[in-house]
Chain A
């Protein structure tokens, strides 16, 4: 089933160069899982955002393993460097002192029910990913930064311009919303 998707690993030693790369990937997986766990289960929001930054660092490592160093760099730059810092500023500006106080009536069942729903989604998606026979197409193009730039500014230039307009409108809207109500 996985002949083309998953190359075989016959005779790979733990101390060879390939084995060391595999070990680094295991560390990356550990970063992703630990960061996501801290980001969703911690009661203090500062720990949540720290876990989110760790998780995004792990995701950037996974992008590097997926032969996309440019996207990995952008992941570090945008998510870890910009989005996490932005949310950290929001936590510093808009959090009461006591933080997340548990124990109101409506949210008593939301934890176990949310866990059940997410566990079912994870099981279904993993089963689907493991049992589907994915069709592999022949590669055309290299996928390096030069190729990405060419495709981005020729066949995807319209979306590129639209994204810049969306970013402009979003930043102006954010300024207007945050400004309203202040004298």
Chain B
């Protein structure tokens, strides 16, 4: 059965990465709260990691490089999440809201 051999195909992982990327873009565009957009950006980063790991497994000459790059992506994502959460808390303290429509002081 072809369906049971999906885990041996590069295309499966690439399509999964594209799916995660599409979900992340949809969430980034359609969300109205900052935390929802942060969650969607984490999905986009996971899509990038998935692509690196897939090419690392199937085509790359040295199978350690992709894993190391994925570890670096995880570190950067952790730093990004920490800063984004602190910004969310600062915004909520000043505006009592995390809605992106309410943070419009310069709109007049």
Residues in chain A within 8 A of chain B (CB atoms): 2, 5-9, 12, 14, 18-19, 21-23, 25-26, 29, 32-33, 36-37, 39-40, 45, 48-49, 52, 55-56, 59, 62-63, 65-68, 70-71, 74-75, 78-79, 82-83, 86-87, 89-91, 93-96, 100, 102, 104, 106-107, 110-111, 113-115, 117-119, 121-122, 125-126, 129-130, 134-143, 147-148, 150-152, 156, 159, 163, 166-167, 170-171, 173-175, 177-178, 180-182
Q: Nearest CB to that of B25 among chain A residues?
A: A118
Q: Is the CB of A52 within 8 A of B19?
A: no
Interface centre among A86, A90, A126, by most B CB within 10 Å? A90
Q: Which of B10, B42, B70 contacts A6 (CB 8 A)?
A: B10
Could you say which interface size class chain B belongs to?
35 or more
Q: How many A-B residue pairs have CB under 8 A?
A: 288
| Interface positions of B (Cβ within 8 A of A) | 1-33, 35-36, 38-40, 42-43, 46, 49-50, 53-65, 67-68, 70-72, 74-83, 85-94, 96-98, 101
B22 near A121 with CB under 8 A, answer yes
Quick check: B78 and A125 within 8 Å, CB to CB?
no
Whole-angstrom CA separation of A169 from B85 in the bound complex:
15
